[in-house]
Chain A
Amino acid sequence: MAENKGVLVLCETKEGKLASISTELLGGGSKLAKDLGQELLAVLVGSGVANLAPEATAYGADKVYVVDDPLLKDYQTDSYVPVMEKVVGQAMPQVLIMGQTSIGRDLAPRLAFRLNTAVSLGCLELAIDPQSKKLLQTKPVYGGNAQAVFITESFPQIATVRPKAMVPLAPDQSRKGEVIKIDAGLDASAIRTKVLEKVPEEVAGIKLEDAEVVVGGGRGIGSAEGFAQLEEIARLLKGAVGATRPPCDNGWVPAGAQIGLTGKIVTPDLYIAVALSGSSQHMSGCSGSKAIVAINKDPEANIFREARFGVVGDWKKIIPAFTEKLKELLAK
């Protein structure tokens, strides 16, 4: 059997470009490839994606595999798994990384079982062990209460990585890379699912994941009206409002506002955490924020261990005064 070599990144596309998760993975993957002394490989799977190979090269790929077929327009387990099986068979990578996205979460485990190897989903960090040269896969477990480092003895070592856990390289348009086309070779009758429709979530204002300021509210906010006050701060700071799980479950905010292990991951410059305790589950969705400010009446709340600045007190008294002062300062 040939030796497995190289770090292969599955690139997802969005609106005719590489998705941000993919440029992040290429950035992180290039570091792994360097540590292994091997090449960074990328694979583009889809319909009408071949023209994105130069972009993958610019972001660090040495070789780009392209599988372009109309049958791959929508992600489906039954079409993507055999295609990726074929790509892995040809590229023979040592490491395969994908995003912890609705595609990666479905594809990675099924592919791992097909290839008789293992996978870690939702990793925060990947590194190469200096001695064994194995991939160290660090991920939150027990709802974020702990982190585990896994290693895989079989090849390829597969992992999915959470959005914003890795940093893209600055694109270099002058980089040259090899492009290898692979025929999908799919049998349409072997695809046992059909995508009937795709419905995007409606977002008013700035998308939570893209916001530079996020105002997060917890159970203590108590009502939709309470969240309206947080909306005002978010508008003032051109940010977005997020929440822990209870406000979403109670319908005070839409389900899409949930931040945490089972919700969205945000990495704003400023995260204002209001009336939330800072459970591990929630923190694993916002701990990448540059600065956290906590407002909570319980001085023992975990959020004060995570925050850079804090005010201990009732948010109902603090938030209006904070909002007024902000308005005054921003008007200057």
Chain B
Amino acid sequence: MNMIVCIKQVIDPEAPPASFKIDPSGNKVVPPAGVSPVVDPYAEYAVEAALKVKDASGGKVTALSLGSNQLRDIVKKPLAMGADELILLEDEAFDESDSWSTAYALARAIKKIGEYDIIFCGREASDWNAGQVGSGLAEILGLPSVTLAEKIDIADGKAKVQRKTDEGYEVVEISLPCLITASNEIGEPRYPTIKGIMAAKKKEPVVWKPADIGVDAAQIGAAGRRTKLQKLFQPVREGKCEIIEGENPEEAAANLAVKLREVKVL
């Protein structure tokens, strides 16, 4: 099984909410000082999904990441988890990509990689939560796709994918090659082992520039955007909480129940 997993480096979504700041230009987020970026947690589920398939059916996992200023110690994490190769699409020309320009550049890189059975993406990324690069990539590459995968089994040259639905789940059989987006139900991403970390240290990523994948400059980064960001803002909280007091916690609790009854919330 030849597998490609799309990942990216993002601002740590677990950073304290108070550290979250929007640039005065009003269209981007200021990376919080002193907080290291991370591999997008949703993409880590995609890495885990690919490694699970590799555990069961063997094969090779190539991680593919797009961006600029990608910190090697960060983006090498899939290697430390068990991926075999890492390819970085790295250039400032990729900055401010939206789902279109991202999917376009990734598709060019995947065509250059050539052989694959399954492409994995996270179901969305933790920064813009766009949730469409996977489907867009499948469309550009003309592949069948299943999104929101919870479990994947390979048999007889096909994948059986348990897909999360609003009602529960469904099991979808899909022909290969295909694209699968992983949901968090796939299971916690594995921790890198010491052996994995050592192997990742020794392995240098392959770096491709826009020219290496033959992209049209008008279709990548900000130039290739199909959505315009008109405004980015933090919703204002009202902050009018009435604190119910009491001599002790028990009394405060009873007073709360009485209050809720009084104002007819109950």
* Chain A residues near B (Cβ < 8 Å): 74, 76-78, 101-102, 105-106, 108-110, 112-114, 117-122, 136, 139-143, 145-154, 192-201, 237, 249, 255, 261-262, 269-270, 279-281, 291, 293-295, 299, 302, 304-314, 317-322, 324-326, 329-330
A-B contact sample (14 more), CB < 8 A, given A105-B148, A193-B173, A201-B167 = A110-B135, A120-B130, A121-B130, A142-B129, A197-B170, A197-B171, A199-B169, A201-B168, A281-B13, A291-B265, A308-B242, A309-B243, A310-B243, A329-B261
B160 sits at the interface (CB 8 A) = yes
A interface, by DSSP: helix, strand, loop or mixed? mixed
Q: Given known contacts A150-B227, A311-B244, A321-B254, is B167 in contact with A194 (CB within 8 Å)?
A: no
Cα–Cα distance between A325 and B230 once the two chains are bound (Å)? 50
* Interface CB pairs A-B, < 8 A, 22: A76-B172, A105-B131, A109-B134, A110-B145, A113-B100, A117-B226, A142-B127, A148-B231, A149-B231, A151-B228, A193-B172, A194-B174, A196-B172, A199-B168, A262-B184, A308-B242, A309-B259, A310-B244, A311-B244, A325-B258, A326-B257, A329-B257
What A residues does B134 contact at CB under 8 A?
109
Which residue of B29, B103, B139, B243 contacts A146 across the interface (Cβ within 8 Å)? B29
Q: Is the CB of B129 within 8 A of A261?
A: yes
Q: Is the CB of B241 within 8 A of A109?
A: no
What A residues does B194 contact at CB under 8 A?
none
Cα–Cα distance between A304 and B258 once the two chains are bound (Å)? 19
B253 sits at the interface (CB 8 A) = yes
Residue of A nearest to B248 (CB): A317
Which residue of B124, B144, B246 contacts A77 across the interface (Cβ within 8 Å)? B144
Which residue of A142, A261, A269, A291 contacts B29 across the interface (Cβ within 8 Å)? A142
B55 sits at the interface (CB 8 A) = no
Q: Mark B164-208, 1 if CB is under 8 A from A, else 0.
A: 111111111111001000001100100000000000000000000
B35 sits at the interface (CB 8 A) = no
Residue of B nearest to A304 (CB): B241
Q: Is the CB of A153 within 8 A of B226?
A: yes
Which residue of A152, A237, A311 contacts B266 across the interface (Cβ within 8 Å)? A237
Q: Is the CB of A313 within 8 A of B249?
A: yes
Which residue of A109, A136, A320 contacts B132 across the interface (Cβ within 8 Å)? A109
What A residues does B226 contact at CB under 8 A?
117-118, 152-154
What B residues does A310 contact at CB under 8 A?
241-244
